[in-house]
Structure 1
Amino acid sequence: MYRLLLTEALKLKRLPIVFVVLLSVIGLSIVVTLQSYFWKEEVMNSNGVFIMAVLNLFFPMVLLLGITILSSILVGLEDDARTWKQLLATTISKIKLYWSKIILIYGILFIMSLLIFVCMFIIWSIFVGPSKIVWELLFKQIFYPYFASFGVLSIQFFISIFNRNQVFSLAIGLIGAISGSFLARSSLPFMHFAPWTYPSLATPLMNEATKWAISGLLIGVIGTIFGAILFSKKEVN
């Protein structure tokens, strides 16, 4: 699996992955900084906790859009190069190949989340000082939505790999990312069952954040196992 992951990672040199990650981190940081500046009084009165509320408005959407773009890019790379037949003609396990791509995308998202964590630390420090940072809150606000997004990753990657029309995959991801943020704020409980809502619901500023983070992880594992089994039986033309 390690060699397979390394091989998949080397393919990224041909892709604008660094650009996607940096654009996401810098764009989100600018938005949070501007919003925090406009609501400076609330930021000061809350000792910076208001910054986390602002972050929760945008970070889940950034995560979901990142999942959509990365899934389409990685699958599209194999489609464009027509390497599926070559890969599957070897002794490489299809299940391991499927998992390696999922792990690679989730790893990229982890790096992006880590960079955002650093940026939020800097923003919080600038507005109210580092001594006022609530580290547990900051950690959970970044990584609970990250954990909760695994369910969407398993679904989005499944759509990308089984429907080679990447426009369709991107459209589903875009609709899910936008609607997920709104549905998460609905007072109707049944609106919260869509996995696209989990990253927004996994904020420590709301009740049951841990529940949604764990739910996203579980759905992600189950969905990836299901997708890998189907992929292992799929004939690639």
Structure 2
Amino acid sequence: MMIKVLKADLLKMKRKWIWFLVFLGPLGIVGLQAVNFGLRYDYLVGQAEDVWQELLQNVNVLIPITLLLGIAILASMTANVEHQQNAWKQLLALPVSRTAVFTAKFIENVLLLLVACFLLVIETIILGIALRFGFDFPLLQVIKNSFYPLFAALPIMALQVWLSITMRNQALPLTIGIFGAIFSLYSVRGPDWLIWKWPLLISDKHQPEWFVMVGLAVGLLILLFGIFDFEKRDVK
């Protein structure tokens, strides 16, 4: 049943700007780094021991804020389809559980951002080759650099999906999401329990894999809390 709900949700996205945003995010990151290396090529490449690692480090700087902004906007847009059409009551009146509806919305957002991360992998490699770094690129590192922040950010995604679904006025969920994205830029020296720090994958005590594992675990917990709340709530 949840698969049918997910397919229906994805069909609703065909005429929306959501897919444009999915493509715009990674393109914006790579485009800015193309400009960065174009203007400072000699400096960045000259002082780098490994040019591919230098490229990944520069790309990684832009991923967290872009990702968190994308999470807030996509969660709001996917939930607002029902809010704008006053369709929540009609949707929940169908022979489908609220758990399936909520989970489908969450999975929909995950799938959209997985596509964006995949595009970032491809575009990062293309940029490196265009910058004459050679074809011996570290594929595994490029994949980790693109996907790890998303897995670490799953608690934030679960939170944003819950807020966007349960609040008809999207101003507050978007404000929280935008504030969280900006706050993440300044959380690098904050404690490791801050979920807005996790997409940065930076810590004196933990490896990036730790943020991925804890992100998956806490993301699941917040998702379950959101489902429980949605089951009890009177959504209008």
Report if TM-score (shorter chain) is over 0.5.
Answer: yes
Residue matched to 1:36: 37
**C-alpha distance in 2, partners of 1:164/1:83?**
11
Higher helix fraction: Structure 1 or Structure 2? 1
1:97 to 77, 94, 101: 101
Residue matched to 1:15: 16
SS at match of 2:197: helix
Aligned pairs for 1:53-132 (under 5 A) are: 53-132=57-136
**C-alpha distance in 2, partners of 1:160/1:154?**
10
**C-alpha distance in 2, partners of 1:167/1:43?**
43
Verify the 8 A CA contact 2:164 2:170 in the aligned structure 1: yes
4+ residue segments displaced more than 6 Å: none
Post-superposition shift, 1:201?
Answer: 1.6
Please give the TM-score of this superposition, normalised by the length of structure 2: 0.92
AA aligned to 1:5 is: L
SS at match of 1:13: coil
Post-superposition shift, 1:128?
Answer: 3.6
Residue matched to 1:194: 194
SS at match of 2:5: helix
**C-alpha distance in 1, partners of 2:222/2:103?**
11
C-alpha distance after superposition, 1:14-45 (max 9, x if no partner):
31112211221221111111122233232353
Is 1:230 paired with 2:229?
yes
- Count of paired positions: 231
**C-alpha distance in 1, partners of 2:23/2:140?**
25
**C-alpha distance in 1, partners of 2:126/2:206?**
27
SS at match of 1:164: coil
C-alpha distance after superposition, 1:55-100 (max 9, x if no partner):
1111111111111001111111111100001011122100011000
Verify the 8 A CA contact 1:61 1:178 in the aligned structure 2: yes
Moved more, 54-63 or 105-114: 54-63
Residue matched to 1:141: 145
Please give the TM-score of this superposition, normalised by the length of structure 1: 0.91
AA aligned to 2:215 is: G
> % of aligned pairs identical?
28
Post-superposition shift, 1:131?
Answer: 3.2
**C-alpha distance in 2, partners of 1:43/1:182?**
27
**C-alpha distance in 2, partners of 1:171/1:22?**
23
C-alpha distance after superposition, 1:133-189 (max 9, x if no partner):
1222111111111211111100111121222221111111011011112212x1x4x
Is 1:183 paired with 2:184?
no
Verify the 8 A CA contact 1:202 1:211 in the aligned structure 2: no
Verify the 8 A CA contact 1:32 1:54 in the aligned structure 2: yes
AA aligned to 2:113 is: L
Verify the 8 A CA contact 1:43 1:127 in the aligned structure 2: no
Verify the 8 A CA contact 2:30 2:124 in the aligned structure 1: yes
